[in-house]
Structure 1
Amino acid sequence: MFDIPISIAAALVGGLADALDPMAGGLATALAIVLFTAGVRLALVPLAVSAAKGERARARLLPKVQALQNKHAKDPHRLQREMAALYKAEGATPAAGCLPMAAQIPFFMVMYRLFTSAAVAGHQNLLLAHTLLAAPLGQNWIGVLGGGLLAPPSLVFLGLFALLAVVAVVTSRRVTAEGPVGAVARLMPFGTVAVAAFVPLAAGLYLLTSGAWTAAERAVLRRGAAAAA
């Protein structure tokens, strides 16, 4: 299923790493992953714009939604029908905000598979030999802990976790949704820290780059919406 996308990703990341090598040296492959991720997010900007419009629509409809919840609290089926009719009439959808995240899953899985596969397109996967500072890009934090918590490879991961936590705090503070949905949306960014401990460092870099992009993108879209208002 992922064989062709993995081959394409390998060619893109490998090509970018080769182009960056004269300037970046040992950081070339890590920077190539960052650029690959940025390219993915750039392609998904239309979905992000749509999601931002959906979030604004949901905020506008919140008083009506709460009124329906109070009115049909004892009739969940009626509430569901009324909510669906309300969103349809307003041209909004509760799931719009999830589109960018859902669309990224295949790309994240490709990056994960690329740095866990011994071979790509029938050839040895040379990317597994690449590192970021002292940490192999194809290894996860659990795998390097044998050398000690404060050993150089582990410190690279700990630095990644710290950056992911900072991005998660920024992203969480910019969530505008209220109620249970808002609570879940505020907690979700912190899940990347836990995920990054069990996936290859390359996939962790994808999460960090994508998370930072999301934080910046939301700030830009919110500023644009405020200016338009």
Structure 2
Amino acid sequence: MLDYVVNLAHSAVSAISAGVAPAFGPAATAVAIVLFTAAVRLLISPLSWAQIRGARVSPLAGCLPALVQAPFFFVMYRLFTTPNDLLDAELAGVPLGHHLGDGLGGAAGPVYAILFLLLAVLARWSSQRMRRATAEVAVTGAPASARLAELPPEAREVAERTQEQLRRVMPLLPYGTLAVAAFVPLAAGLYLVTTTAWTGLEQGVLRRYR
């Protein structure tokens, strides 16, 4: 079943690449990956709305819809990390199947420098957004605080300690994209940049109109 879905995603990216080829030439597949990623994120945007509404009460409540999104992300990750003809295409002369470990000679150096710079900027932006979100929960999470107060002292202490650890750890999670990008093909790096940027913009808009 997974292979079937991945093949469908492959066909979609190939079709988009063929459509934008007249405008983008050799970079058409790279552009198609960005567009396909954006299209998938748009498709599952209702889940993001549910995630933000859940996070208003507790960071843990906001995690469940994110788990529902995981199959979509896994399919895309599988598509961009399994050897296929899409990875034979190039971006600025660098194959989309190129890994950081393959070297930074030629055009690979500048391409990866830009990729990691974008990921670092997006990670910092996402981290700051998470800090603000957890601060808002601490201020407005009266219902959650009331439920905690009803727990036995020992259980309440464990729950409060867990929430505090989450508040400390969650802002660090976005930086994991840099570690992932160091081990996956360039195509997957483009996916990471696109989906991280989409998440930041989407949550900024949804939080404003929630």
TM range (shorter): 0.7 to 0.9
Q: Does the aligned pair in 2 maintain the 1:38–1:213 contact within 8 Å?
A: yes
Aligned mate of 2:76, from 107, 111, 135: 111
Identify unmatched segments of 5+ residues in structure 1: 59-93, 119-124
Which protein shows a greater Rg? 1
Partner of 1:223: 208
Alpha-carbon shift at residue 6 of structure 1 (Å): 1.7
Deviations 1:116-175 (A, max 9, x none): 444xxxxxx322210111221112211234x3xxx3113211211110111111111111
Do the aligned residues in 1 keep the contact of 2:47 with 2:66 (CA within 8 Å)? no
1:41 aligns with 2:41: yes
In structure 2, the gaps of 5 or more residues are 136-163
Q: TM-score, normalised by structure 2?
A: 0.78
Select which of 83, 86, 89 maps to 1:130: 89
Within a 5 Å distance, the mapping from 1:32-111 to structure 2 comes to 32-58=32-58, 95-99=60-64, 101-111=66-76
| 3-state SS of 1:174 partner | helix
Determine which structure has greater relative contact order: mean sequence separation of CA pairs < 8 Å that are 6+ residues apart, divided by chain length. 2
Root-mean-square deviation (CA, aligned residues, Å) is: 1.9
- 1:177 counterpart residue number: 134
Amino acid at match of 1:169: R
Residue of structure 1 aligned with 2:119, choices 152, 156, 164:
164
Q: Deviations over 1:54-77 (max 9, x none)?
A: 11122xxxxxxxxxxxxxxxxxxx
1:62 counterpart residue number: none
The one-letter code matched in structure 2 to 1:95 is L
- Aligned residue pair count: 180
TM value normalised by structure 1: 0.72
Which aligned runs of 4 or more in structure 1 are off by greater than 4 angstroms? Answer: none
**Deviation by residue 1:41-88 (Cα, 9 ceiling, x = unmatched):** 112111111111111122xxxxxxxxxxxxxxxxxxxxxxxxxxxxxx
Aligned residue for 2:159? none
Q: CA deviation at 1:95?
A: 3.4
